[in-house]
Chains A and B, each alone.
Chain A
Amino acid sequence: DGGITQSPKYLFRKEGQNVTLSCEQNLNHDAMYWYRQDPGQGLRLIYYSQIVNDFQKGDIAEGYSVSREKKESFPLTVTSAQKNPTAFYLCASSMKRPNTEAFFGQGTRLTVV
């Protein structure tokens, strides 16, 4: 089955530590995205990538980093510089053209302890 896989589903991190969230897709989509959801808020764009080895900052990129070494993979690192990392993180992918929907993974709940 084609889809987007995020792992792990739940992640706990101590303050001051970096942590990497995994996102893999087998939909053959060129574009991939990372969103963050906080309670009572919509999804906000962290980073996106339209092609391998290239990515751009979204609206809330501070404290995060990404890489895109393979078309299928777009890992997100939450660094110690991110002031409020506790959130629900969602990875998505889409075709690289306008007026098309994004497909989302199941999400990773990150909690800083």
Chain B
Amino acid sequence: DQQVKQNSPSLSVQEGRISILNCDYTNSMFDYFLWYKKYPAEGPTFLISISSIKDKNEDGRFTVFLNKSAKHLSLHIVPSQPGDSAVYFCAASPIYYNQGGKLIFGQGTELSVKP
């Protein structure tokens, strides 16, 4: 039972344009959501997060939107740069876990930004 789903395995975008990565979840008890970026053979690095009490969080070129009624979140990267090419993982934490780090991950979306 996949509680966090990233239905697009890959996404290709032109440099300078917007990249939109999507994530759906099924567990209504999730209250904290994160995006991680991962290069091959390396560990994931934290990118941005959002609490369920918010619907938007912005950090530089990265913005995460949360639609609780649709159980959907998205990561927007504007403008996209070739260095953004990586696998992006959506992750969620339910309120009853009561600690960070214990996360449920989606399958990942591989973003390719072409010059």
Q: Which residues of A contact B (CB under 8 A)?
A: 4, 6, 9, 31-33, 35, 40-45, 48, 50, 58, 88, 90, 92-107, 109
Bitwise interface map of B from 18 to 51 toward A, beta carbon under 8 Å scored 1, else 0: 0000000000000110101000011111100101
B95 touches A98 (CB 8 A): yes
Q: Could you give 29 example pairs across A and B, Cβ below 8 Å?
A: A31-B100, A31-B101, A32-B101, A33-B101, A40-B9, A42-B89, A42-B91, A42-B105, A43-B44, A43-B103, A44-B105, A88-B41, A90-B44, A92-B101, A96-B100, A97-B100, A98-B32, A98-B98, A98-B99, A99-B31, A99-B51, A100-B101, A101-B46, A101-B100, A104-B36, A104-B43, A106-B42, A107-B42, A107-B43
B75 to chain A: which residues have CB within 8 Å?
none
Contacts between the two chains (Cβ within 8 Å), count: 88
Identify 8 new A-B residue pairs, CB closer than 8 A, beyond the known A95-B100, A97-B99. Answer: A31-B99, A31-B100, A40-B9, A42-B91, A50-B99, A101-B100, A101-B101, A107-B43
Q: Considering the chains assembled together, what is the distance between the CA atoms of A53 and B97 in angstroms?
A: 20
Contact residues of B with A, CB < 8 Å? 4, 6, 9, 31-32, 34, 36, 41-46, 49, 51, 89, 91, 93, 95, 97-103, 105-108
Nearest chain-A residue to B97 (Cβ)? A98
The smallest beta-carbon distance between A60 and chain B, in angstroms, is 12
Residue contact B105 to A43, C-beta cutoff 8 Å? yes
Nearest-neighbor residue (CB-CB) of A94 within chain B: B101
Query: With A43-B89, A98-B93, A99-B93 in contact, do A107 and B100 touch (Cβ < 8 Å)?
Result: no
Please state if A104 and B45 are interface contacts (CB–CB under 8 Å).
yes
The residues of B that contact A35 with a CB separation of less than 8 Å are: 105
